[in-house]
Amino acid sequence: MTNEHKEPWTPGPWRVHPKYGNQIIRDAERKDDRKQVCMVATRVREYEYDPAETTPDARLIAEAPAMAALLERLVAIVESPRSLLVDVVALDAKKLLSRARGEGRT
Is residue 56 situated within a structural domain? yes
At residue 33, the pLDDT reads 67
Nearest-CA neighbor of 68 among 14, 30, 105, 24? 14
At residue 104, the pLDDT reads 63
Is residue 88 situated within a structural domain? yes
Is residue 2 situated within a structural domain? no
Number of domains in the chain: 1
Is residue 38 situated within a structural domain? yes
Is residue 44 situated within a structural domain? yes
Is residue 1 situated within a structural domain? no
Q: Characterize 29-44 residue by residue with b for buried, 16 or more Cβ atoms within 10 angstroms of its Cβ, and e for exposed.
A: eeeeeeeebebbbeee
Spatial separation of the C-alpha atoms in residues 26 and 60, rounded to whole Å: 14
Is residue 4 situated within a structural domain? no
Is residue 5 situated within a structural domain? no
Is the per-residue pLDDT at 34 higher than 50? yes
Beta bridge partners of 30: none
Q: pLDDT confidence of 22, banded at 50, 70, 90? A: confident
Instruction: Convert the pLDDT of each residue in 41-79 to its tens digit.
Output: 776 666 667 778 888 888 899 999 999 888 888 877 777
Full strand arrangement of the beta sheet holding 14-16: 14-16, 23-26, 36-39
Q: Which structural domain, as residue segments, surrounds residue 68?
A: 14-100
Contact (CB, 8 A) for 62 and 10: no
